[in-house]
């Protein structure tokens, strides 16, 4: 009789994910399903609200990357107020937003490295789970942990200086930004003060983190290159000249060999190119490239996809690392899930370099912050969030109220790849019995950690968040259950 294995991280309220593995009579894996419930009801939440409120309202979607939602919404509203798509702002307006965004990228990527990547790299994925986490790093690699806290704080403080505050920031507004960066604020980040490092130190630490990955990779190639590896398409924004650009650009998609599928198209036309499939077993949709159809058109987003789609990185140290990264796969896209960590750290280094470049730019002290244009009733904003491409699409009615909102968040874009990653791990760890093993728990966890999906995370009523694995048969009878965390 076919059986189901369910791996369930249970949160208190809406952020709820689980993995179900469906086995046939011979305990062979026939399907994997990663269920993530998120963002239900958001369209209803913003409908009827004045459009200019959107950049603040949407920050409540995610406690880790509220800035990405803030800026994606602001970019969509730039179109609605008639000032174009990311290129029509004043230099101060665009560069302040970029500073906010790259600071967000730095703090988010740093957090990921500290929480999830470095424990795996420094201790190995089969090490004691009690140590293979942020506490283990704090205990065994204190210097690294202190650096991570200060890098995270550095990013947070720039966000505060550009968005106005840490929670419900109001920095980006339709048509621009509501403040510039004073010389005093700039100098804090350039030169540092007690508790906030200078930018050169941040760049050095970001560079060292890339070296840490490469060292580990050199010693563990077989594991890193084989774990949850599968061919996929890759999608991201790129600058018009093909450079990596996390704030604005055109949409590009390549296949697993690097052949272009979407050739630098305007994202205002995304509905021509991207479809969303609905499946009966999950609320989360499955985006796909229409030209390839539902079966073959799914794609990855995020750091790995971005380094697979772009032609170069426009900052010195990150470009050097990018060349090493590309050389490893002979110039072709990397389809190795664990290379996501490598790509993320290169982006982190790039973010630090961009922050330095922006801090040195006198445009940040200029006063021309907002532009007005001729209003329209529809706008689309895209941005490369830490976990991947984020789509915001709004229409407004005659009373300036939001009448339609459609979001495709990074985690949704990565829905099929995450399912594939879990499937690849499950297939390699099935014990031959309908049982949850430690190897399966660890492996599935590592696969999820690589993507770090957003689980409706901006809700944090005190409670517990265990990882639970349940094995059921097709009738729902529980055959085995294990819980961790």
Partner 1 sequence: MPQAPRIIVCGFGNPGREDDGAGIVVSKRLERELPAGVTVQYDYQLNIEDALEISDKDAVLFIDASANDFDGVRIKPVEPEPVSNYSTHTMSPGAILTVCRQLYGTEPPAWLLEIKGYAWDMREEMSKQAQANCETALHVAVNILNFIQKHGPAALTKTILKEMQKNVKDHSCHR
**Footprint of partner 1 (CB under 8 A):** 9, 12-14, 40-42, 44-45, 57, 60-61, 63-64, 66, 108, 111-112, 114-116, 119, 129-130, 132-135, 138-139, 142, 145-146, 148-150, 152-153, 156, 166-168, 195, 445, 448-449, 452-455, 457-463, 465, 467, 485
Calpha distance 255→258 (Å, rounded): 5
CA dihedral (170, 315, 417, 440) in degrees, to 10, reads: -100
Beta strands in 309-454 (DSSP E): 378-385, 388-396, 402-408
Tokens of 189: 């980040």
Calpha distance 221→283 (Å, rounded): 37
Query: Can you say how many angstroms the Cα of residue 180 is from the centroid of all Cα atoms in its chain?
Result: 27
Q: Report, in Å, the least distance between residue 203 CB and partner 1.
A: 19
Q: Which of 290/481 has CB closer to partner 1?
A: 481
363 Cβ contact list (under 8 Å, min separation 6): 91, 92, 95
Helices (H), 192-302: 199-219, 221-226, 270-273, 293-296
Q: Which of 141/239 has CB closer to partner 1?
A: 141
Q: CB neighbours (10 Å) of residue 387?
A: 26
- Among candidate residues 181, 172, 205, 193, the one with its CA nearest the CA of residue 106: 205
Q: Report, in Å, the least distance between residue 452 CB and partner 1.
A: 6
Q: Which of 296/459 has CB closer to partner 1?
A: 459
Q: Report, in Å, the least distance between residue 328 CB and partner 1.
A: 26
Q: Which of 114/267 has CB closer to partner 1?
A: 114
Q: Are 475 and 56 in contact (CB under 8 A)?
A: no
Q: Report, in Å, the least distance between residue 248 CB and partner 1.
A: 25
Q: Which of 301/313 has CB closer to partner 1?
A: 301
Q: Report, in Å, the least distance between residue 363 CB and partner 1.
A: 29
Q: Which of 89/405 has CB closer to partner 1?
A: 405
Q: Report, in Å, the least distance between residue 83 CB and partner 1.
A: 27
Q: Report, in Å, the least distance between residue 141 CB and partner 1.
A: 10
Q: Are 194 and 102 in contact (CB under 8 A)?
A: no
- Among candidate residues 426, 475, 465, 298, the one with its CA nearest the CA of residue 20: 426
Q: Which of 12/433 has CB closer to partner 1?
A: 12
215 Cβ contact list (under 8 Å, min separation 6): none
Q: Which of 42/189 has CB closer to partner 1?
A: 42
Q: Report, in Å, the least distance between residue 152 CB and partner 1.
A: 5
Q: Which of 116/274 has CB closer to partner 1?
A: 116
Q: Are 201 and 193 in contact (CB under 8 A)?
A: no
Q: Considering Cα of 278, then 283, then 287, then 288, what sign does the dihedral take?
A: negative
Q: Report, in Å, the least distance between residue 168 CB and partner 1.
A: 8
């Amino acid at each position: 009789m076919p059986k189901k294995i369910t791996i369930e991280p249970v949160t208190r309220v809406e952020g709820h994910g689980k993995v179900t593995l469906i086995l046939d009579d011979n305990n062979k894996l026939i399907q994997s399903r990663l269920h993530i419930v998120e963002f239900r009801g958001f369209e209803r939440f913003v409908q009827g609200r004045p459009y200019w409120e959107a950049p603040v309202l949407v920050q409540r979607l995610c406690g880790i990357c509220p800035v990405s939602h803030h800026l994606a919404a602001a970019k969509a509203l730039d179109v609605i107020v008639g000032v174009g798509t990311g290129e029509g702002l004043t230099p101060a307006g665009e560069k302040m937003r970029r500073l906010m965004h790259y600071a967000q990228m730095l703090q988010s990527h740093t957090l990921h490295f500290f929480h999830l990547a470095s424990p795996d790299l420094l201790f190995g994925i089969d090490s004691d789970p009690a140590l293979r986490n942020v506490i283990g790093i704090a205990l065994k690699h204190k210097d690294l942990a202190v650096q991570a806290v200060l890098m995270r704080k550095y990013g947070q403080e720039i966000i505060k200086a550009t968005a106005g505050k840490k929670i419900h920031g109001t920095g980006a507004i339709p048509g621009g930004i509501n403040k510039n960066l004073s010389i005093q604020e700039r100098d804090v980040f350039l030169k540092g003060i007690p508790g906030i490092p200078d930018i050169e130190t941040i760049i050095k630490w970001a560079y060292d983190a890339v070296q840490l990955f490469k060292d580990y990779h050199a010693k563990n190639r077989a594991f890193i290159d084989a774990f949850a590896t599968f061919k996929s398409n890759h999608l991201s924004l790129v600058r018009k000249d093909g450079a990596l650009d996390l704030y604005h650009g055109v949409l590009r998609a390549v296949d697993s060999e690097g052949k272009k599928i979407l050739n630098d198209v305007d994202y205002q036309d995304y509905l021509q190119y991207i479809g969303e499939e609905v499946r009966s077993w999950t609320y989360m949709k499955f985006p796909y490239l229409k030209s390839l159809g539902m079966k073959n058109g799914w794609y990855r987003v995020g750091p790995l996809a971005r380094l697979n789609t772009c032609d170069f990185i426009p900052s010195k140290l990150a470009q050097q690392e990018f060349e090493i990264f590309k050389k490893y796969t002979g110039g072709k896209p990397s389809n190795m899930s664990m290379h996501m960590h490598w790509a993320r750290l290169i982006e982190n280094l790039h973010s630090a370099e961009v922050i330095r470049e922006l801090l040195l730019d006198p445009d940040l002290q200029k006063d021309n912050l907002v532009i007005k244009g001729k209003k329209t009733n529809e706008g689309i904003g895209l941005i490369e969030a830490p976990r991947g491409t984020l789509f915001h699409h709004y229409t407004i009615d005659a009373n300036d109220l939001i009448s339609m909102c459609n979001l495709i968040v990074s985690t949704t874009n990565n829905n099929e790849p995450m399912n594939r990653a879990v499937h690849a791990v499950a297939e390699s760890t099935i014990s031959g019995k309908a049982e949850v093993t430690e190897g399966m728990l660890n492996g599935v966890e590592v696969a999820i950690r690589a993507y770090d999906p957003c689980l409706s995370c901006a809700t944090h009523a005190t409670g517990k968040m265990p990882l639970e694995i349940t094995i059921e048969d097709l009738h729902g009878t529980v055959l085995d259950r294990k819980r961790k965390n």
